[in-house]
Structure 1
Amino acid sequence: MRVLRRTLGTLLVLGAAVSCTAAHGDDAKPGGRRPAALAPYDRLLPAPASARAEGAGYAFGAGTVIRTGAGSGEEVRQVGELLAEQLRGSSGLPLPVVDGQEGDGIRLLLDEGAQELGAEGYRLRTTASGVTLTARTPAGLFRGGQTLRQLVPVRGTGDVPGGTVTDAPRFAYRGAMVDVARHFFPVEQVKRYVDQLAQYKINTLHVHLTDDQGWRIAIDSWPRLAEYGGAGEVGGGPGGHWTKEEYRDLVEYAARRYVDVVPEIDMPGHTNAAQASYAELNCDGKARERYTGVKVGFSSLCVGSERTYEFVDQVLGEIAELTPGKYLHIGGDEAHATPADDYADFMDRAQAVVARHGKTVVAWHQLAQGRPAPGAVIQYWGHDRGPAAEKAAVVAAAKAGHPLILSPADRAYLDMKYDTTTKPGLTWAGYVPVERSYSWDPGNHLAGAPESAVLGVEAPLWTETISERGDWELMAFPRVLGLAELGWSPAGALDWTSYRERLAAQGPRLDAQEINYHRAPDVPWS
């Protein structure tokens, strides 16, 4: 189960080469040959729209100050404080944040007149006197700060190379999804993932909160959903759930990193945890047994009962109140136990509930074969061998004006095994090595769907076989970095030969952050 247009600028990769420490020895590259070190602006990931190395660099060190500019506002100062925290992590430097632009250092400049940079774009210019980050919005300053992190030496002080980066995303939506329903994960692990994603300019975290195996969010009006329906997981573990306070904390944490949280309450299928918690959600009035397996498509809410729609309204209302972002995901996939006509009627009413609570619907691509409401976003998870009728319905919806999020399972699903040696993961969509996960263009992937309809990309991580952080990170990294580039970088910059070298240069950074990642054999890890 389960892409701001920008013209490509000329990517110049001048500048001095910077040596890299070999993290994994001579065997990091087939044949034992170490790759040539890349020039600093050639290492950036995602690839920027335009980069030019020129002039003297800036000595990043003990005297460096982050300057936010007098009168720039509290939000810009918060961006500066977070950037200081992130840079301290690798350098141990004091990095005080002060008001005023006068003097050397790292300067954050908010220029609301810089319309060409859009909502998330930025300009980064480095000279001997410092680094100046300019953006139209605080979000743009944050994105530029993440680029600066890649230009600062991984461990400690050193020169930030002279030059200019002018950058903005290709697609507005760049997401990753985490499934905490199949196996439960605490909020702290999801926060760690938010930090890992945000540094590569991913701006959306889709959280799959409910499924047959578990209900992971407290709902005041239906308390047994979390108390009983959350007390289990795949394989029979104890499960768990988040309180509303924990969910709010995650949403606020992500927002400070300019990552929007999109919650998903899956319906009318994938609902066994709810049906086990409340007998009244079943047409026969009998509560279901809790479920710890991995098969799908057997559960369905009682779509002919008005009590079901009271449930939908109250649950989605509470989730909408907790979530400041514009989107609310209602699933809608693999509802095999719901007759087609009933499915269409149910989704009509569920979409109306979402609208009533002030949100925009997102649903899996099966909604396209029903009646998607005006403006509803369709998330496509099909694959090369998928049914032609499903693809045709998605293309028709795109042509009718529905935005698309692309998550093709044989490219973007992070729970698919890399190869035969991968221990966790599944293979129903085939093996997805790092090159395959990167080597597609969201703008033309779905034949017949106009690129203008593509809102963005998303990399889902389903957890049927994933129950611990090490396996989570192994399956996500490094493939999620490729998806980040597909969402951000200009189409003309998407090139596997270049990407694999830039990905390899991220190895020491991933190591320094203690991220467990797959050492793909066709990537020349440095």
Structure 2
Amino acid sequence: MAVGAFTVGATTVTKATPTATPLGRVVPAPASVTPGKTPYRITHDTAIQVDGSREARRIGEYLAGILRPSTGYRLPLSTHAGHGIQLRLTKGSFGAEGYRLDSGPSGVTLTAAHAAGLFHGVQTLRQLLPAAVEKNSVQRGPWQIAGGTIEDSPRYAYRGAMLDVSRHFFTVAQVKRYIDELALYKINELHLHLSDDQGWRIAIDSWPRLATYGGSTEVGGGAGGYYTKADYQEIVRYASSRYLEVVPEIDMPGHTNAALASYADLNCDGVAPSLYTGTDVGFSSLCVGKDLTYDFVDDVVRELAALTPGRYLHIGGDEAHSTSHEDYVKFMDRVQPIVTKYGKTVIAWHQITGAHPVKGALAQYWGLDDTDAAEKAQVAAAAKNGTGLILSPADRVYLDMKYTEDTPLGQDWAGLVEVKRSYDWDPGNYLAGVPTSAIRGVEAPLWSETIVTGANIDYMAFPRLPGVAELGWSPASTHDWDTYKVRLAAQAPRWDALGIDYYRSPQVPWPAS
């Protein structure tokens, strides 16, 4: 706080005035910060200036939609230069997602080479304003943005979060809310776990009972649900508007009871099992020896690929305990070419490294710090042979793990994962023997065996999600728990303003309520 003095009669009165948030006190930490002396203050005269591009105008409208309700200002969009907030797309060495923010007394300028960078810059701008800017009613200012320059770009191109909609189903509105939360921290990949033993969540025209029957329940025996093709396309559209790419997952050959229950012919014995509402894993398998299995996979992948403009399609491949190793390899060897045939890049859980990953495939590592050395060596060998890795170590970034023994939600099979443990590791050297060039990024999965509501999602994701986002975005040189926990604590009023419930970890110096 800054302190100013003024005189009333013969009495000198001291009044505290809020100071602008320092440029470096954001999450993820920017790559480079150069502080300036004089902040910019948004007032009723401020306009948002955009260039003539459709992308800049769309991002300008998004920014205005955040600022107008809380400031009460008109903040008109304009293509005329002047004082205010300027959004510029121009050629430069910003990369695909980088940006530059320049702030001073006459205004703020955000510059990027691509729309994604401009959007990420807007997220930084949001965090530089008081948390009350997130509210939907007029709040008291002032609305100051610290002076200086930020030059920023991500460490990794893949920065993901996974939402399991199979164990418990989440509505389009709930997924959209999570997308908005992810966007605030520059997450750019939304991995949707669309099928599992407990539920099939995407309509497939050629196999309609997958959704109507296989999607009719969930863990605990609830009503379940599924996304129509229009629903799924709305999620994809909304994610794209926040510069997230949707990565759909159809888990196979295991985790397939919902499909096996829907169509008896997918079973080797031609007998459909009952729908499943428990939480065990590893008991189901597609019939590897049947040609019908691959007709089924082809139909599902074809329809899902047609709905998905993103680059990736995830084929699962984990916990296939009811499939022999020989059959697992046969299955993956036949299924991966189906994915590439429809123009998508294969992602699978890291067990695929025990088969033959196709060229360009990505393996998602979900092991633990103490996972068997031979399994880690298998992953490292695949990485050396060109398979890219997404790191999701379960005892670090699985958001469904309990914080402590007393956490009312979540599981503990991978251990207890407090906020410091989730943040305090380096993706660049986590797996011995893996070339740095093989690491594509990080992803924070949220499995939903115990997650039922949107509030449950928030509580398990926050405050760990921002730390995973920082591991993916910020330079390794910025990773320091003691400074990070202070920046993280400063996010709490913003979460309060956004209505995000969160775990108040004793490891973090939260501001007094």
* Band of TM-score, shorter chain: over 0.9
Give the match for residue 129 of structure 1. Answer: 106
The 8 Å contact of residues 20 and 145 in structure 2, kept in 1 or not, is answered as: no
After the TM superposition, which residues 357-396 of structure 1 pair with which residues of structure 2 at under 5 Å, given as runs?
A: 357-396=342-381
Q: Matched residues in 2 for 1:110 and 1:512: separation?
A: 31
Q: Distance in 1 between matches of 2:444 and 2:425?
A: 13
Closer, same or farther: CA 89–399 of 1 in aligned 2, 3 Å? farther
Please state whether the residue corresponding to 1:361 is helix, strand or coil.
Answer: strand
Query: How many residue pairs are counted as aligned between the two chains?
Result: 488
Question: 1:469 Cα shift?
Answer: 1.4
Equivalent residue for 2:94, pick from 93, 96, 117: 117
Whole-angstrom distance in 2 between the partners of 1:77 and 1:312: 41
Measure, in 2, the Cα distance between the counterparts of 1:38 and 1:498. 19
Q: 2:78 aligns with which of 83, 87, 98?
A: 98
User: Does residue 1:319 correspond to 2:296, yes or no?
Assistant: no
Match of 1:54 in 2: 36
- The 3 A distance-change label for structure 1 pair 412 and 351 is same
Aligned with 2:259: secondary structure? helix
Aligned counterparts of 1:62 and 1:357: Cα–Cα separation in 2? 51
1:67 is paired with a residue whose SS is: strand
- CA 1:85–1:39: 2 relative to 1, 3 Å: closer
- SS at structure 2 position matched to 1:133: strand
Cα distance in 2, alignment partners of residues 90 and 386 from structure 1: 49
By how many angstroms is 1:41 displaced? 1.8
Change (3 A) 1:214 1:447: same
Pair 1:496-2:481 in alignment: yes
- The residue aligned with 1:153 is 130
Once structures 1 and 2 are overlaid, which stretch shifts more, 49-58 or 314-323? 49-58
User: Is the counterpart of residue 216 in structure 1 residue 201 in structure 2?
Assistant: yes
For 2:458 and 2:144, how far apart are their aligned partners in 1? 31
Q: What's the offset of the Cα at 1:86? A: 2.2
Instruction: Give the drift of 1:17.
Output: 7.2
Secondary structure of 1:349's counterpart equals: helix
Q: Counterpart amino acid of 1:119?
A: A
Determine the C-alpha separation between the residues in 1 that align with 2:279 and 2:109.
51
Contact 2:21–2:129 (CA<8 Å) still a contact in 1? Answer: no
Which letter does structure 1 place at the counterpart of 2:510?
A: W
Q: Match for 1:494: what amino acid?
A: H
Deviations 1:137-192 (A, max 9, x none): 11111010110001112224322111100000000000000000000110110100
Are the aligned partners of 2:20 and 2:129 in contact in 1 as well (CA < 8 Å)?
Answer: no
Distance in 1 between residues matched to 2:67 and 2:20, nearest whole Å: 22
Mapping 1:140-289, distance limit 5 Å: 140-155=117-132, 156=139, 157=141, 158-289=143-274
1:400 shift after superposition: 0.7
Whether 1:483 and 2:468 are equivalent positions in the alignment is yes
Which letter does structure 2 place at the counterpart of 1:111?
T
CA drift at 1:38: 9.5
Aligned with residue 426 of structure 2, among 421, 430, 441: 441
- Match in the other structure for 1:297: 282
TM-score when scaled to structure 1? 0.91
Distance in 1 (CA, whole Å) between partners of 2:193 and 2:2 is 43
* Pairing of 1:384-463 with structure 2 (within 5 A): 384-463=369-448
Identity across matched positions, percent: 61
Check the 8 A contact 1:60/1:152 in 2, yes or no.
Answer: no
Corresponding residue of 1:74:
54
Aligned to 1:107: 86
State the alpha-carbon separation in 1 of the partners of residues 325 and 121 from structure 2: 47
Partners of 1:166 and 1:419 in 2: CA distance: 38
The CA deviation at 1:90 is: 3.9
Cα pair 1:17 1:38 within 8 Å, conserved: no
**Match in the other structure for 1:343:** 328
* 1:94-150: CA deviation from partner (whole Å, max 9, x where unpaired): 2221223x11110011112x0x21000000001111100010111111010110001
2:261 is paired with a residue whose SS is helix
Asked if structure 2 preserves the Cα contact closer than 8 Å seen for 1:90 and 1:154, the reply is: no
For 2:23, the aligned partner's letter is Y
Distance (whole Å) between structure 2 residues aligned to residue 189 and residue 275 of structure 1: 28
Contact 1:271–1:300 under 8 Å retained in 2: yes
User: Quick one: higher RCO (CA 8 Å, sep 6+), 1 or 2?
Assistant: 1
1:315-348 deviation line (CA, Å, top 9, x unaligned)? 0110000000000000000001011111101011
Matching residue's letter, 1:42: G
* Cα distance in 1 between the residues matched to 2:71 and 2:167: 38
1:88 and 2:71 equivalent?
A: no
**3-state SS of 1:139 partner:** helix
Q: Is the 8 A contact 2:48 2:85 kept in 1?
A: yes
Deviation digits for residues 422-450 of structure 1, max 9, x if unmatched? Answer: 01100000000000000000000011111
Q: Which amino acid aligns with 2:62?
A: L
Q: Is 2:113 aligned against 1:139?
A: no
TM-score, scaled to structure 2 = 0.93
Distance in 2 between the 1:93 and 1:416 partners? 43
State the alpha-carbon separation in 1 of the partners of residues 398 and 337 from structure 2. 30
Distance 1:273 1:90 in 2: 46
The whole-number CA distance in structure 1 between the counterparts of 2:20 and 2:286 is: 55
Relative to 1, partners in 2 of residues 1:311 and 1:124: Cα closer, same or farther, differing over 3 Å? same
Q: Does the Cα contact within 8 Å between 1:62 and 1:94 map onto a contact in 2?
A: yes
CA RMSD, 1 decimal: 1.3
**Contact 1:17/1:39 (<8 A) preserved:** no
In 2, Cα distance between the equivalents of 1:243 and 1:444? Answer: 42
Partner Cα distance (1:106, 1:38) in 2:
16
Assess, with a 3 A threshold, how the Cα gap between structure 1 residues 401 and 199 changes in structure 2: closer, same or farther.
same
Query: Does the aligned pair in 1 maintain the 2:210–2:258 contact within 8 Å?
Result: yes
Deviates more, 1:79-88 or 1:45-54: 79-88
Gaps of 5+ in 2: 4-18, 133-138
Q: Which moved more, 1:48-57 or 1:430-439?
A: 48-57
Question: Which amino acid in the other structure matches residue 44 of structure 2?
Answer: A
